[in-house]
Amino acid sequence: MTEVYRFSENEILLFSMVLLRMSAFVVSWPVFGTELTIHQVKVLFALVLAMVIFPTLQWSAPQMAAVKSDLFLLAVREVFIGLSLGYLARMFFFAFRVAGEMVSQAMGLSAAAVFNPALGGHTTAVEQFYVALASLFYLGVNGHHMLISALVRTVEIVPVAQLSLNVSQFTGIGHMVQEVIELGLKFSAPVVVSILVVNLILGVVGKTVPQLNVLITSFPINIMVGFFLMLVTLPMLMDNMGGFLESSVFKVFNFVKAF
């Protein structure tokens, strides 16, 4: 068994290329790639992935030659592939962040932002609730296992130490961002539209009864209506999570194949 890991000079360079791809992925992949995960754990996990995957690979003579002549360009390519796969996988969570932000704005809770160490910035409580819900669903359906399997397959689909990069599919990123924003708006639409209707009704009531302070009254009403509709629409949100996750995984695979 120990003979497998006795590397020559070329094999050490090739192993470094695999390790770069694994490290870039581990840093950027969702849920476990956040700042809450200890950096030593990330490094160890990337090293274990590289050590498990490397003995299963077959190397051709052109790859052996390229790893010496174009080492820097190959290293940049591997880091780019790993980061692309990790950040594209986060698209699933961006839709829920958009929905949470829209709902917070409608309910008037956007000013009550708290620091989120996982994102390194301030987010609202509603946004954190949606992202936490998406994370639990993602872990519940073993989305992290599917993502690791996809990472292993990228080594076969996009071989290491092969200096080629196809940018024809990069235009698809714009469409992915558009779909994420549209889904975020769809997820938040029931709450946002309902609160808009409530505010219109309160505006009419305020004109009819000038003694009523609509500005002060609207805050608790908006929050009550918002939380009620969040609970009512929660089953609909959970039903759409599975289809959205499958769609995002399919598009990430198509993008990776373009390399």
pLDDT tens digits for range 55-114: 887 777 776 776 777 778 888 888 888 888 888 788 878 888 888 888 888 887 766 666
Specify the number of domains making up the chain. Answer: 1
Residue 180 has pLDDT above 70, yes or no: yes
Q: What is the distance in angstroms between the CA of the first residue and the CA of the last residue of the chain?
A: 33
Q: What is the pTM of this model?
A: 0.75
3-class secondary structure for the chain? CHHHHCCCHHHHHHHHHHHHHHHHHHHHCCCCCCCCCCHHHHHHHHHHHHHHHHHHCCCCHHHHHHHHHCHHHHHHHHHHHHHHHHHHHCHHHHHHHHHHHHHHHHHCCCCCEEEECCCCEEEEHHHHHHHHHHHHHHHHCCHHHHHHHHHHHHHHHCCCCCCCCCCHHHHHHHHHHHHHHHHHHHHHHHHHHHHHHHHHHHHHHHHHCCCCCHHHHHHHHHHHHHHHHHHHCHHHHHHHHHHHHHHHHHHHHHHHHCC
Give the pLDDT confidence of 118-166 residue by residue, as tens digits: 555 667 778 888 888 888 888 887 877 877 887 787 787 777 777 666 6
Q: State the pLDDT at residue 170.
A: 64
Q: How many alpha carbons fall within 13 Å on the CB side of residue 58? A: 3
Q: State the pLDDT at residue 1.
A: 46
Of residues 6 and 142, more confidence is placed in 142
Mean pLDDT computed over every residue of the chain: 78
Whole domain around residue 84: which residue ranges? 2-257
Contact 120, 209 (CB under 8 A): no
In 3D space, the residue among 244, 44, 21, 14 whose CA is nearest the CA of residue 150 turns out to be: 21
